[in-house]
Amino acid sequence: MSYFKAQHQKRHLTHKKQKKFEELRSDVLNYPDIYKLQPIAVVMCLAKYYHTFAAEVFPNAVRIADRFHVIRYILDALQQIRRRVSKEQPQHYRLLKSNKSLLSRRPDPLSQREDVLVQQLLSLNPDRAVYELKEELILGTIPNSIKH
DSSP reduced 3-state for 73: helix
Per residue in 125-136, pLDDT tens? 867 888 888 888
**pLDDT tens across 61-107, in order?**
888 888 888 888 888 988 998 899 999 999 999 998 998 888 888 87
Comparing CA positions, the residue from 145, 141, 116, 115 lying closest to residue 129 is: 145
pTM score: 0.65
Pairing of strands 41-44, 12-15: unpaired
Alpha helices in 35-66 (DSSP H): 48-57
Mean pLDDT score, 2-23: 53
Q: Which residues contact 65 (CB under 8 A, 6 or more apart)?
A: 43, 44, 45, 46
Beta carbons within 8 Å of 28's beta carbon, 6+ residues apart: 35, 57
